[in-house]
Amino acid sequence: MSKATVLTHGDLDGITSGAIAILVFPGSDFYFTRPAQVHQDLYRVAKDKPDIVHVSDIAINSKKFSEVIRALDRFPKSTEIHWPDHHPMTPKERRELGKRVELFHEVGPCTAELVYRKFAPSLPEHALRLALYGAIGDYCDETPFAKTHFDDVDKRTLYLEAGLLVQALQEIDYQKESKDLVHQLALGIKPSSMDDIVFLALKATRIEHEVFRYVQQKAQKLGPVGYVLDMPINGYRGKSAKFSAYVTDSKVGISARSSDDEVDMSIRRRRTDVDLNKTLNFILKDMEGSSGGGHPAAAGASLDRNDFPRFLQMLAEHVDKYG
């Protein structure tokens, strides 16, 4: 049997695209990774000289791009590297990455949809549900593919199943428990049959309502940017970013967490078309030690703690100008 490794992101789209990849390459080694560390994980995986590597739902971090390419160059020529992804990429990144991997890149659908479409003929029937969970998880549920397949089922049930996963993931340590979840999903077990997932989903939902109340009281506003800093709870970052925009009636919302020297944040937009990925690339370009990016509507960044006020100011000016 050929030796395969699956690397994927820890959110629902990453989990479902990884689970589908495991169905395509049974017996794969499986690991979670992130845009800022994928080059290190690739270096490590290259040492095993696998026959197949499948990397899904990992955004190209422009500042790390050359390191990703160097890591890819460590693999033997015989290693087949699949790289499905839906995060925006520059034409140059697309070209360079495409020379080294089997790139399947489309912006619009979620990654799980891309993996499903690519390998559909060799997949069991339940893989389709995984692709649709991924689509719901990433707000990519209005593609022609998703609409067609929602029309074949009672989509409300599918949203409940996907919603259980989205919620439970707020309360799961993604390196440990999520790995079991990936294997259960690959087996075809439905979220509503996973007692621990149902329990955690309800718990997370109750906590989310508390998070909303907290953000309502604590969110601050700088021009068109609402933000909340250091909520007394882990996770719920995307959600609280969205809440911060709403409760301050802002176009952009941020949920940020600071450590000794860094600030790490999730960013969401509201009632504006401003492209957060492009905005971050622009603002962070000259901010040393920073990194960030993602999608037009949902992104993340990390930067030096001292740069946070300047970052907020620049973001507010940018959104005022283009939002």
User: Which residues here bind Mn ion, judged by CB under 5 A?
Assistant: 13, 57, 111, 138
CB 23 within 8 A of CB 123: yes
Q: What are 37-42's contacts with CB under 8 Å, separation 24+?
A: 38/7, 38/64, 38/68, 38/71, 39/64, 39/67, 39/68, 39/70, 39/71, 40/71, 41/7, 42/7, 42/68, 42/71, 42/72, 42/74, 42/75
Residue 61 or 248 having the CB closest to Mn ion: 61
User: Residue 86 CB, nearest distance to Mn ion (Å)?
Assistant: 6
Which of residues 24 and 114 has its CB atom nearest to Mn ion in the complex? Answer: 114
Nearest-approach distance from CB 108 to Mn ion, in angstroms: 11
- Do the beta carbons of residue 59 and residue 87 sit within 8 Å? yes
Q: Would you say 16 or 79 has its CB closer to Mn ion?
A: 16
Contact in structure between 303 and 262 (CB atoms under 8 Å): yes
- Which residue, 21 or 228, is less far from Mn ion as judged by CB? 21
Shortest spacing between CB 295 and Mn ion, in angstroms: 8
* Distance of alpha carbon 298 from the chain centroid: 9
Nearest CB to Mn ion, comparing residues 295 and 318: 295
Q: Beta 262-269 vs 298-304: how paired, if at all? A: antiparallel
Strands (E), 86-202: 102-105
What's the CA gap between 239 and 86, in Å, rounded?
21
**Least distance to Mn ion, CB of residue 13, Å:** 3
Q: Give the residue with the Cβ less far from Mn ion, 96 or 113.
A: 113
CB of 313 to Mn ion, least distance (A): 30
Residue whose structure tokens are 């401003």: 274
Nearer to Mn ion, 163 or 223 (CB): 163
User: Shortest Cβ contact with Mn ion: which residue?
Assistant: 13
Least CB distance to Mn ion at residue 56 (A): 8
